[in-house]
Structure formats: structure tokens, C-alpha cells
Amino acid sequence: MTYCPTAAPAWQALTAHAAQIKPRHLRELFAEDDQRFQHFSRSQGDLLLDFSKQRITAETLTLLQGLWREADVPGWIKRLRGGEAINHTEGRAVLHTALRRSGPEPVLFQGKDVMPDIRRVLDQMQEFCAAVHSGDWKGASGERIRDVVNIGIGGSDLGARMASLALVAEQVPDLHVHYVSNLDGAHLATTLAKLHPATTLFIVASKTFTTQETMQNARSARDWVVQKLGEKAVAHHFVAVSTNHAEVAKFGIAPQNVFEFWDWVGGRFSLWSAIGLPLALAIGFEKFSQFLAGAEAMDKHFFNAPVEENLPATLALLEVWNTNFLGAATRVLLPYSQSLEVLVSYLQQLEMESNGKQVDRDGAAVSYDTAPILWGESGTNGQHAFYQLIHQGGSLIPCEFLVLKEADYPLPGHHEMLLANCFAQSDALMRGKTVEEVRAEMAASGLSPEAVDALSPYRVFPGNQPSTTLLMSRLTPHTLGQLIALYEHKVFTLGVLWNLNSFDQWGVEFGKQLANKLLPMLEGKATVTGLDSSTAGLIAACKEN
């Protein structure tokens, strides 16, 4: 049956309820309930979610939980786990959770258990990691591998890159893993400038093995190896991760050097498959297994916990509240952890490629907002860049703070200062500062009444900016696995609440098609015709050189 979110009774009740909440200030809500933190925080595994600084009351939460039931999120979880083709526009199942499954039960896709294939590839990855780490895997001239370069883009890059940086404190010694994604030759050239072909191994990571950026970078890397070591060296220096065996073979990579994955793994959900190979090489297979186990723990929680306790559900419902009922157009992610720097880019793909859509599951245009624009920066760098606008710019910007209880690099004095900054920001954004407070503070500092009159308006902060703080115990493979799975399930839940197919990405295809049309014109192999004057003018200007 067709589901229309805005027609759901809970949606309508939330619309009426939002009119009561909008004029209220978070200060008042905190003043009314000194147990607000206890009432609006939940723990799961190594994560503590404090959403007491969101603009909600107990009634808001109850109404939002009603929306989860009316949208039948539990029914969609069953379809997801049952291998149904819920990515209906591509006719594909969505089974990335099977990739981190440790139990003996089968996971069926079209009547066949996918678990034996998953275990076979995991075994292959484990053997490969052991061979590279021990030095048994040798380059063409007999030297051991010192550097690994992953060539991929989007889901075939961001997840492993994000996690390798997040877990940099856990990396194996004497092996450096690099990531090249950008088509701009500067990315590959500057990476290769530091490396030696004889001791470098390339992973060409591409689900389709046809992605323009990846294939161009892979060809250039291949030339670099072949020029120095000859054609036969390709077998020693290239492995592939792909679903497209025919294209991999054309590139010249031997079948035994291919790590398979499957159509039922979406690109931006593929980190748990062989796409995670560079991560497994960076931190070792044992820690990669702990990363999978962390994700599995979150899967179990998401599948089984009631909505009242469910962390991914809570995050998704709060996003719907802020986006559809309070009118936020963006959300800012503020990881107070240098190691989580790439998380913003990773989540931009996960969230915006999944739910940045305006056509619902039934092919109809939606009448409500979907994925907010996600942006962000690691703390405290962001404080010295854009926080001014969050404090005084006048837009509603829900903030998501992410911080570790325990530092991964415990230099004396740093972590307490970092925590103080993080908590001070969410407090200031919640509380704001009234004109009376500003005037009293200025007068107490000895300023003249004239100066107080002149300067006080600039120093007022409206506050009431909602935020969530996700406190993680430590950045370990297991914790990171929980965190990433938490966001995956949040994205899935939002897709259900907004009645979207979160697993296709037709918008990305459009740009790819046009680039293929323009390329021969830029190469001088086709006449520049049929273009708008701007595009034609830009091409002509480039060709002048």
C-alpha cells in the first residue's frame, strides 16, 4: 500500500505540536526539568547519545515514535534482512548487514545462502593481508611491499579512507596505505612521487570497474609500474576489488588477485566487503574483524531494540523533526577528533547520495523536504571558521557534536581542553546570552554606560540552536564499527520515514553521461556543437592553450 508521510496521523499531530514548540526556548525546557539529560539520552555499547539539547519535549518524542510505527519501519527492516529487492529501481537487494554477520544462520538472497561466499572472500582477504604483512607477497623484483595505494572513488574510497585515518593509532608498522580518488592528475602524481614501483601495490577498487576516474587513475598507475618494471610486473603489483570480472580481466589482473563482492552491496555501504581491503591492510585483519563485530553489535541493537531505546531510530526521528517540522535546511557535523576528519565527507555521501531525492518510492514528487545539506569540520578548526554564523547568523542549524571520552593520542593537557571546547559550544548554542546578561557582564567589567549601550547589541546570542552530542568511549575498531553502522541504519530509517528508495543514485549518473559527451570535444576528436554558449565558450577557452 502506498505510504504518504504527510498523510500519516502522527505527521499531522507533529505539525500541530511544532507550532507549540517553535516559540519555546531551550533554556526554558532545561529550567522546567532538571533531569532533562537523564530523560533525553540513551546509551548503547560504547556510544552515549545526548539529545537533551534538541528542541523537544516528552510529547515530541512520543509523537515521533508514532511516526516510526505508522511508516512501518519494523516491516521494512524485515524486508531488508530478508533479501527483498528494496532497491526497486535497480532491482537489487540491500544486504550489507550480512557482510558483518558472524552467526551460523543463513542469509538468503533469491533462495541461496550468501554467507559461504562472504566467508570465502573474508578468508581470501585474511590470507592476502598475512602475505603482505609477512613479506611473502613480493613485488616483481622480489622486494616486499612497503606502500599500498587504493584507487577508487565514492563508496570505493571514502569508507576505507575515513576508517584508516580514524584508526591511524592502530595501524600496522612498516606499511603505508594511500588513497587516490580524484581524476585530477595531481592526486595520483603527488602520491606516486613519494613511492617506488618495486615496493608499491595497487588495489583497483570499483564495483563496476567502469568508473571514469578510477579507470583513468588505474591506467596511469599501470603505466608507471610497467615503465619501470615491465609488463609482467602487473600481476605482482595490482589486485582488484570488483563485481565485474570481465572488465577486471581486460585490465590484465589475474583472477586469483580479484576480491569479489556482489550487486546486493551498495557502493556507499560497501566498506564491510572487500572494499575494506585497504583498511584491513592498514590495521591488520584481526582488527578489521573487530570493526565488523562492532557493526554487527549495532545491527543487533537496531533490529531488536524498541524504538524508545533505539539509537539509529532516535537520530533519524530527530532529523525528521528538525527538517520537516522546525524547518532546518542543513545539519552540521562537528567531530572533536582529528582522526574523524574524513567522517564529514564519508557521511555526505552516505546521507546525501542516499536520501537527496524528491521522488518517492512510488515515482511521485514529494511535497516535503528530504535529506538536509550535511556539512562540517573537525573541532576546534570549525570554531575559527564558521561557528560565528551558527551562533549569530540567524539560521536554524542543528549541530551534531562527536567526541571521545578517551583520546587516541593522549598528549598531556590536550584532551581536557578539547572536551571543554566541545561542551562549551553546545552549551553556548543552547543557552545563548540575553541583552540583560550582556549588559550586566559589561558593566561588571567596568565599561561606561555609553559603551554598554553602544556595544551590547553585538554581543547578544539568541541561542536555542539544537544539538546532539555523541560521546564515544574510545576510537577502537569495534567502536568505529558501531558508529558507522549507526549512521547506516539512521539513513535507512530516514528513507522509510520519507518513503524514498535510499539505495539508487540516478542524479550522479546524469553528470557522468554529460562528461562522456564533452570529452571528445575537449580532446579535439569531435566538433564542439549542440552546447549552450557557456559550456562551448569554456571549451573554446581551454583549447586556445
Which positions are catalytic? Answer: 353, 384, 512
Judged on CB neighbours under 10 Å (0-12, 13-18, 19+), 179 is: buried
Question: What's the closest the beta carbon of residue 76 comes to ligand F6P, in angstroms?
Answer: 21
Q: How many CA atoms lie within 13 A of 277 on its CB side?
A: 34
At 304, list the grid cell: 531488536
Closer to ligand F6P by CB, 155 or 495: give it: 155
> In 3D, which of 365, 346, 323, 352 has the Cα closest to residue 483?
346
Question: What's the closest the beta carbon of residue 509 comes to ligand F6P, in angstroms?
Answer: 8
Question: What's the closest the beta carbon of residue 154 comes to ligand F6P, in angstroms?
Answer: 3
Q: Characterize 454-490 residue by residue with b for buried, 16 or more Cβ atoms within 10 angstroms of its Cβ, and e for exposed.
A: eebeeebbebbbbbbbbbbeebbbbbbbbbbbbbbbb
At 490, list the grid cell: 539512521
At 111, list the grid cell: 533462495
Closer to ligand F6P by CB, 139 or 159: give it: 159
Closer to ligand F6P by CB, 57 or 206: give it: 206
Closer to ligand F6P by CB, 267 or 466: give it: 267
Question: What's the closest the beta carbon of residue 92 comes to ligand F6P, in angstroms?
Answer: 12
**CA-CA-CA-CA torsion sign (526, 532, 536, 538):** negative
Closer to ligand F6P by CB, 320 or 342: give it: 342
Question: What's the closest the beta carbon of residue 169 comes to ligand F6P, in angstroms?
Answer: 27
The length of the chain is: 545
Question: What's the closest the beta carbon of residue 156 comes to ligand F6P, in angstroms?
Answer: 4
At 373, list the grid cell: 545539506
DSSP-based three-state secondary structure for 488: helix
Question: What's the closest the beta carbon of residue 96 comes to ligand F6P, in angstroms?
Answer: 12
Closer to ligand F6P by CB, 290 or 505: give it: 505
Q: Which amino acid is at 366?
A: V
At 112, list the grid cell: 541461496
Question: What's the closest the beta carbon of residue 164 comes to ligand F6P, in angstroms?
Answer: 17
Task: Using CB under 6 A, list all residues that contact ligand F6P.
Answer: 153-156, 206-208, 211, 214, 267-268, 505, 508
Question: What's the closest the beta carbon of residue 159 comes to ligand F6P, in angstroms?
Answer: 9
Q: To which H or E segment does residue 78 belong?
A: helix 73-81
Closer to ligand F6P by CB, 154 or 276: give it: 154
Closer to ligand F6P by CB, 102 or 513: give it: 513
What is 299-368 written as a DSSP string? HHHHHHS-TTT-HHHHHHHHHHIIIIIS---EEEEEEE-GGGTTHHHHHIIIIIIHH--SB-TTSPBPSS
Q: What is the CA radius of gyration of the chain?
A: 26
Place of cell 573541532: 379
Closer to ligand F6P by CB, 181 or 290: give it: 181
Question: What's the closest the beta carbon of residue 507 comes to ligand F6P, in angstroms?
Answer: 9
| Greatest extent of the chain over all pairs of C-alpha atoms, in Å | 82
What is 292-308 written as a DSSP string? HHHHHHHHHHHHHS-TT
How many Å separate Cα 374 from the centre of its chain? 10
How many beta carbons lie within 10 A of that of residue 501, not counting itself?
22
> In 3D, which of 288, 291, 292, 316 has the Cα closest to residue 302?
316
**CA-CA-CA-CA torsion sign (301, 302, 308, 313):** positive
Number of H helices, E strands in the chain: 23, 13
Closer to ligand F6P by CB, 15 or 516: give it: 516
Cα separation, 419 vs 417, in Å, equals 5
In terms of phi and psi (left: phi > 0; alpha: psi -120 to 50; beta: otherwise), the region of 186 is alpha
Cα separation, 322 vs 56, in Å, equals 10
